[in-house]
Amino acid sequence: MLMMCLCSRLKPLNVKEQPLMKVLSRLQVRVRVRVQSRMQGCRPVVEVVRLGLVSYQEALRLQQVYVNRHRSGPAHALLLCQHPPVYTTGIRHKPYPAPLLDQLRLLGAQVHRTNRGGLITFHGPGQLVCYPVLNLGGFKKSVRWYVCELEKTIISVCSRFGIEASTSPHTGVWVRDNKICAIGIHCGRYVTSHGLALNCNTDMSWFSHIVPCGIEGKGVTSLSAELQRDVSVEETIPHLLDAFRDQFNCQLMDGQTPGTDEDSGGSSA
């Protein structure tokens, strides 16, 4: 009788809504993150997800997946990728003229309006794009602090290559008057998305069709241009991870790309 009463109170699992393997996979990741966090002195654990070359739309979807994961507990992630040629605009500008956007599309690039800060910029092969999806409650609840830490991370990366980089009144990281890394973020309820784009061996001619980040009279550069040798994204990633770990005082662990069936909440990051 007791067993029957207990069983009658259990809510049956809706297999269609929550496939068992997906539920177990999420639980496994959460348990692993929390156990490692305790073992490593409670420093935040950040999951590193290497996406390779991925469309901008897919990167937005994956960011939203990780943003949604924060609703049920810490799910810090660092998404690393490259994009096919794409121009993106931020929220600090009224819509760009349609003829300009059409011209950019004729070059073979996509164009997307986003909810990040900043103006128009370019992403493409040879550029290391990094999307940290962090709950700043596990670090410091300050957007200004967060952007400064991103800038310091890239300055450290450049230093590891022997390049002297710095900040300026304009957001991003600069080598003299040339921007080497663009930064544009979104932060909702202290959960971050979007991030930074570091020029490694990017085809810089794509930038000649726009005013990068809306800053007149400034140029753009890359690690390869500064060192006069080819510096690939693959060569740069280990330096970025080391600098990020040191700057954010966190632990990094390898992660896996979420499946396409995981709910992204129906909105872009």
What are the beta bridge partners of residue 187?
A: 192
User: Whats the size of the chain, residue-wise?
Assistant: 269
Residues 43, 37 contacting (CB under 8 angstroms): yes
pLDDT tens digit sequence for 145-189? 999 999 999 999 999 999 999 999 888 999 999 999 999 999 999
Query: What's phi and psi for 226, nearest 5 deg?
Result: -70, -35
pLDDT tens digit sequence for 184-204? 999 999 999 999 999 999 999
pLDDT tens digit sequence for 5-20? 434 444 444 434 445 5
CA–CA gap between residue 63 and residue 34 (Å, rounded): 21
As to burial, measured by CB atoms within 10 angstroms (0-12 exposed, 13-18 middle, 19+ buried), residue 78 is: buried
What average pLDDT score do residues 249-258 get? 94
Quote the pLDDT of residue 118: 82
What average pLDDT score do residues 52-56 get? 98
Q: Which amino acid is at 2?
A: L
pLDDT tens digit sequence for 234-253? 999 999 999 999 999 999 99
C-alpha of 147 from chain center: 13
Query: Buried b / exposed e across 51-74, counting CB within 10 Å, b at 16+?
Result: beebebeebbbbbbbbbbbbeeeb
Quote the pLDDT of residue 32: 52
Quote the pLDDT of residue 7: 41
- Identify how many contiguous H helices and E strands the chain contains and give both numbers: 7, 11
In the chain the domains, ranked by start, together with CATH numbers, are 44-252 (3.30.930.10)
Residue 69 has pLDDT above 90, yes or no: yes
Quote the pLDDT of residue 215: 72
User: Is 213 noted as a catalytic residue in this protein?
Assistant: yes
Q: Which of 158, 200, 213, 250 is catalytic?
A: 213
Tokens representing 195 are 């991030």
Residue 109 has pLDDT above 80, yes or no: yes
Question: In the block, which residue shows the tokens 């830490």?
Answer: 149
